[in-house]
Amino acid sequence: MFKAPKWYTVLQYTVMIIVALFMFFPIYWIFVNSLKTLTGISSAPSFFPSDPQWENYKTVLSDPSTLLYLRNTLILCVANTAGTLLSSSLVAYPLSRMRFRGRGVVFAIIIATMMVPTATLIIPQYLLFRAFGMLDSFWPLILPSFFAQPYNVFLFRQFFVSIPESIDEAAMLDGCNRWQAFWRVIVPLGKPIFITVGIMSASFWWNELFSPLVFINSDELKPLTVGALTSFQLAGGGNQTNWPLQMAFSMLMILPPAILYICCSKYITDGIKTSGMKD
């Protein structure tokens, strides 16, 4: 576009490298400290692990409660992602291409409820699930996903609008009904948005703390996020944390989303591009 002067190029790379250092440092620091010993961590911080304690990872991974938390998180991720993909895409379909009275109103309500904060809904939902006798179980955490969330409906709809209507009309001329057209045409063509929303949902539940704190009491139903708050406290030391183990645990919590990102980065960018608020 324009020929950059040399000082500009130098400045550009300097800024980019400094920002990268600042942004990536926490992850590096978690990694370095996950390899230290408890005594090593309280002396002067070293930036490179001199005597890496890989057994910290073994200790964390062989802790039965870590495995239990991991299992619970995986259940939440899988169930909520399945529920979200199914229900939100179904709801988005008629909004993207079917004519019916009231569509404008439905879409307006969906847009309006997109922003309702979780904290506003949590108390009545708590009372609702209490009335159902579902507290301290996975139901309050999983069930709402199966009934479509506005934001995901919106993302699906934006993508579906970009699929030419003539394609599923052709399918219906061949004898498909709407339901079959959805499954045979829209779902296969919508792969990028299914992957994008799926990744978003799984990462959300990998990260979610608020609702498990409210709905779950039993230790054996806690997900990793809640476990991270209480695990690895030193016995008898008040609020002393066993930092090397805590950091190894943290590292294990970073890895799955990082791997997911590396494998799917192409889809994530595509999904953002196509669903990102365009016609």
Partner 1 sequence: MASVAVSKPRRAGNPKRHSDAAAAWGFLSPWIIGFLVFSGFPILFSFYLSLTKWNLLGEPQFVGLKNYRDLLSGDSELGRTLVVTLIFTVINVGVSILSSLILALLLNQNVRFKGLFQFFYYVPTIMPSVVMAGCMTLMFNSQLGVVNYVLRAIGVDNPPNWTGSTTLVWVVVAYASVFTFATGQQMLVFSAALKDVPTELYEAASLDGAGAWKKFIHVTIPGIAPMMLFNVVSCTVNSFNGAFTLLYPLTGGGPGDATKVLGLLIYDKAFKSFNMGQACALAVVLFLIVAVIGAVQFKLMDRK
Using CB under 8 A as the binding rule, whether residue 95 contacts partner 1 is answered as yes
* CA dist., res. 185 & res. 197, Å (int): 18
Closest distance of CB 182 from partner 1, Å: 8
Q: How many residues belong to the site for partner 1 (CB under 8 A)?
A: 101
Least gap, CB of 227 to partner 1 (angstroms): 9
Exactly one of 69, 93, 156, 194 binds partner 1 (CB under 8 A); that residue is 93
Any idea what the Cα angle at residue 216 is, between residues 224 and 257, rounded to 5°?
25
Restricted to residues 229-248, the positions that interact with partner 1 (CB under 8 A) are 229, 243, 246-247
How many residues in total does the chain contain? 279
Contact window for partner 1 (CB under 8 A) among 19-27, 51-59, 61-69, 187-195: 19-27
Name the phi and psi angles at 174, rounded to 5.
-80, 5
Which residue in the set 64, 117, 175, 238 belongs to the binding site for partner 1 (CB under 8 A)? 117
Q: How far apart are CA 158 and CA 97, in angstroms?
A: 11
Query: CB of 122: closest distance to partner 1 in angstroms?
Result: 8
Choice from 10, 18, 61, 109 touching partner 1 (CB under 8 A): 109
How many CB atoms lie under 10 A from the CB of residue 56? 23
Q: In the complex, what is the shortest distance from the CB of residue 95 to partner 1, in angstroms, rounded to a whole number?
A: 8
Q: Is residue 279 near partner 1 by the rule CB under 8 A?
A: yes
Binding residues among 124-183 for partner 1 as defined by CB under 8 A: 124-128, 144, 146-149, 151, 153, 158, 161, 165, 169, 177-179, 182
Identify residue 133 by its one-letter amino acid code. G
**Which residue, among 232, 93, 225, 231, has the nearest Cα to 157 in the 3D structure?**
93
CA 217 – CA 16 distance, rounded (Å): 45
27/67 with CB nearer partner 1:
27
With CB under 8 A as the contact rule, the residue among 67, 116, 167, 234 that binds partner 1 is 116
Q: Minimum CB separation from partner 1 for residue 196, in Å?
A: 11
Establish if 201 lies at the interface with partner 1 (CB under 8 A).
Answer: no
| CA atoms of 72 and 228, how far apart (whole Å) | 13
**Of 205, 207, 208, 212, nearest in space to 126 by CA:** 212
In whole angstroms, the minimum distance from the beta carbon of 55 to partner 1 comes to 20
Q: Residue 78 or 200: which CB sits closer to partner 1?
A: 200
Rg (CA), the chain: 24
Q: What's the CA gap between 86 and 255, in Å, rounded?
A: 27
> What's the CA gap between 253 and 87, in Å, rounded?
28
Among residue numbers 20 through 79, which ones bind partner 1 (CB under 8 A)? 20, 22-24, 26-27, 29-30, 33, 41-42, 44-45
We find the least distance from the C-beta atom of residue 128 to partner 1, in angstroms, to be: 7
Structure tokens at 250: 């943290």
Do 234 and 28 form a contact (C-beta atoms < 8 A)? no
